[in-house]
Amino acid sequence: MTAPTDHMSTAEVSAEFDRMMVANGIAKAVDEHIAAEYIGVKVSWLRNNRRSPITPPYLRYGAKTIRYHVDDLDRWLDAQRVQ
């Protein structure tokens, strides 16, 4: 990782964030396209409802990088179950 005092481009920040969110070869956080596919919704639904409590929680890194933690997606899916 680049030292905190060094300037990192947006692409470098995004790549570093992605690197940090992978543990033992398993992604802990995924982008909105993978998240949408994982929970069975359209990307546009996630984008349009992102600030609503009806969607899974998300991570924002920087101004534009959005990621969804896989554990949060699993918890959200469990909460949608109807008894």
Enumerate residues 6+ apart whose C-beta is below 8 A from 58: 50, 66, 67, 68, 72
Structural domain 10-79, CATH architecture: Orthogonal Bundle (1.10)
Rounded CA-CA distance 83/71 in Å is: 22
Give this prediction's pTM: 0.70
Tokens 């409802």, located at residue: 49
Boundaries of every domain in the chain? 10-79
Model confidence pLDDT, tens digit, residues 4-49: 446 767 677 667 666 666 666 667 888 999 899 999 999 999 999 9
Model confidence pLDDT, tens digit, residues 62-75: 888 999 998 899 99
Enumerate residues 6+ apart whose C-beta is below 8 A from 45: 36, 55
